[in-house]
Amino acid sequence: AQTVTQSQPEMSVQEAETVTLSCTYDTSENNYYLFWYKQPPSRQMILVIRQEAYKQQNATENRFSVNFQKAAKSFSLKISDSQLGDTAMYFCAFMKGHYGQNFVFGPGTRLSVLP
Amino acid sequence: DSGVTQTPKHLITATGQRVTLRCSPRSGDLSVYWYQQSLDQGLQFLIQYYNGEERAKGNILERFSAQQFPDLHSELNLSSLELGDSALYFCASSPTRGTGELFFGEGSRLTVL
């Protein structure tokens, strides 16, 4: 079974600074997807960024980028120019294959952006 | 707006009661997932349906049951409710094939008194 680990339960960062959230996963699969979801105080689950395992290039979405190390099974999220609106719970997630099988979430990292 | 609709948004009930949570997936999505999130906790996977058939089961209690109907909407039934069942229940849907991500509804907040 796949597992997802987020070793930082809580983090904080000053506004405009850069922060990196860690995620590791365990799988024997070769084809899979990785995701970062954000859950702000509104509790809505919002997709931040997605990475296909077969792509070597790291995904980027505006201020959000990932460092995907397939051999090390590591998938960290970097937030640049942190904004107050980035304050949220961040969940790393793994999905096997293409059909939504075994969609597994990590325990989450609570990020606070300080003014 | 993710396109996934959940009703009701809020529900308050008493211990021992039964409730039904409803989810309409995005148009065209065949997969529906149910997750439970207790206060300040992560997401616990309950169950997944694909085109009306149960595909995967997580830590779903025997007091809970779900189904997906021919029109692809899904219902999660929670019975003999206990205080510990108070949580946010999310429904999500995913495309049959493609980017693989889950699209989440806004959740149904259940409070058991």
pLDDT digits (tens, 9 = 90+) for B40-95: 778 898 999 999 999 888 889 999 999 999 999 999 999 999 999 999 999 999 88
Bigger pLDDT: B27 vs B95: B27
Contact B107 A44 (CB under 8 A): yes
- The pLDDT of residue A98 is above 80: no
- The pLDDT of residue A46 is above 60: yes
pLDDT digits (tens, 9 = 90+) for A101-110: 678 899 999 9
Report the residue from A44, A52, A105 with minimal CB separation from B42.
A105
Rounded Cα gap, residues A27 and A11, in angstroms: 26
- The pLDDT of residue A55 is above 90: no
Rounded Cα gap, residues A80 and A62, in angstroms: 9
- The pLDDT of residue B34 is above 90: yes
- The pLDDT of residue B100 is above 80: no
pLDDT of residue B99: 67
pLDDT of residue B95: 81
Percent of chain A with pLDDT over 70: 95
pLDDT of residue A39: 94
pLDDT of residue A97: 67
Rounded Cα gap, residues B47 and B56, in angstroms: 6
Contact A105 B45 (CB under 8 A): yes
Chain A interface, best mutation among B93, B101, B111, by max A CB count within 10 A: B101
With bands split at pLDDT 50, 70 and 90, how would you rate the model's confidence at A70? very high
- What's the burial of A79, exposed, middle or buried (CB within 10 Å: 0-12/13-18/19+)? buried
pLDDT of residue A113: 97
CA angle at A42 for the pair A41 and A46, rounded to the nearest 5°: 95
pLDDT digits (tens, 9 = 90+) for A11-45: 999 999 999 999 999 998 888 899 999 999 888 99
With bands split at pLDDT 50, 70 and 90, how would you rate the model's confidence at B98? low
φ, ψ dihedrals at A8, nearest 5°: -110, 100
Q: Concatenated DSSP letters for B19-67?
A: EEEEEEPPTT--EEEEEEE-TT--PEEEEEEETTEEEEE-S--TTEEEE
Percent of chain B with pLDDT over 90: 75
Rounded Cα gap, residues B93 and B57, in angstroms: 15
Percent of chain A with pLDDT over 90: 76
Which residues in chain A are contacts of B48 at CB distance < 8 A? 100, 103
Contact A50 B90 (CB under 8 A): no
